[in-house]
C-alpha cells in the first residue's frame, strides 16, 4: 500500500534466551521490553503490560523476534525454512505454517552476516505487500548489559 518508507531509529538490546529491549528515539519515543514471556511497552507516559501467554498471537510474534535474533529460528515449529547464501551473507527465508501466522505474514527473511553469524536484518513481509525491515547496525557483541535494562516496572 505504501510506496514510501516510514523510518524509525533507536537502540536494541538482546540477552539470551528471552530478553529484548527495543527503544525508538525517532520519530517518537517508544520502548518495548520482552522478558520471560511478559511484554511491556511505553509510549510517551502511557505504559502497557501484557503477558504473552494471554494471547497466542502475541506469544508467537514474541517468539519470532527472540528466535530471529537469538539464532534459534530454524527450531521454530511455526515456520518452514529455506536458506540461501552469497559471498557475505546467509538469507534464511521463513514461511509460516501456523494458520494464524499465515494470516499475518507472507514470509520473514533473516539476513545473517557470515563474518560473525549475527543477524543484520529481519524483513517481515505482510500479505498486503507491505513490509517491515529491522536493520541492526553498530552491533556490540557479548557486552555487559545491566539487568535493569530488561526490568519491567
Partner 1 sequence: MQRISSNASCIQKFKPDFSHVVYKTSVDVIGKHISGILVVKHMPDSSTRVVFTNEMGFSYFDFGFPSDSGFKVFQIAPIMNKEGLIRTLRKDFELLLFRNMENSKYYALMDSGLIYHAFPQTEGVNYYITDSNCRQLVKMQRASTKKPVMEAFIYGGSTGIAPDSISMRHFSISHFSITLKQITTPAAQ
Minimum separation from the CB atom of position 116 to partner 1 (A)? 24
Among the listed residues 25, 51, 130, 135, the single contact to partner 1 using CB under 8 A: 130
Interaction mask 58-97, partner 1, x per CB under 8 A? ---x---x--------------------------------
According to DSSP, the residues that pair with 122 across neighbouring strands are 110, 134
Among the listed residues 87, 128, 137, 142, the single contact to partner 1 using CB under 8 A: 128
Q: Calculate the CA dihedral of residues 28, 104, 132, 116 and round it to 10 degrees.
A: 110
**How many Cβ atoms from other residues are within 10 Å of residue 1's Cβ?**
6
Contact between residue 94 and residue 107 where contact means Cβ atoms under 8 Å apart: yes
Q: Calculate the CA dihedral of residues 108, 113, 118, 119 and round it to 10 degrees.
A: -20
Per CB under 8 A, residues contacting partner 1 are: 1-8, 22, 24, 27-28, 30, 32, 41, 43-44, 46-48, 55, 57, 61, 65, 100, 103-104, 124, 126-128, 130-132
Amino acid at each position: 500500500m505504501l510506496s514510501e518508507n516510514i523510518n524509525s531509529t533507536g537502540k536494541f538490546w538482546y540477552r539470551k534466551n528471552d530478553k529484548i529491549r527495543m527503544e525508538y528515539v525517532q520519530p517518537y519515543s517508544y520502548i518495548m521490553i520482552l522478558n520471560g514471556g511478559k511484554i511491556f511497552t511505553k509510549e510517551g507516559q502511557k505504559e502497557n503490560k501484557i503477558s504473552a501467554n494471554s494471547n497466542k498471537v502475541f506469544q508467537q510474534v514474541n517468539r519470532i523476534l527472540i528466535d530471529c535474533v537469538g539464532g534459534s529460528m530454524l527450531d521454530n515449529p511455526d515456520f518452514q525454512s529455506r536458506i540461501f547464501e552469497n559471498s557475505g551473507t546467509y538469507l534464511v527465508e521463513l514461511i509460516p505454517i501456523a494458520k494464524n501466522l499465515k494470516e499475518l505474514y507472507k514470509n520473514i527473511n533473516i539476513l545473517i552476516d557470515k563474518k560473525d553469524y549475527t543477524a543484520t536484518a529481519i524483513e517481515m513481509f505482510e500479505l498486503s505487500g507491505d513490509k517491515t525491515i529491522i536493520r541492526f547496525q553498530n552491533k556490540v557483541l557479548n557486552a555487559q548489559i545491566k539487568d535493569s535494562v530488561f526490568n519491567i516496572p
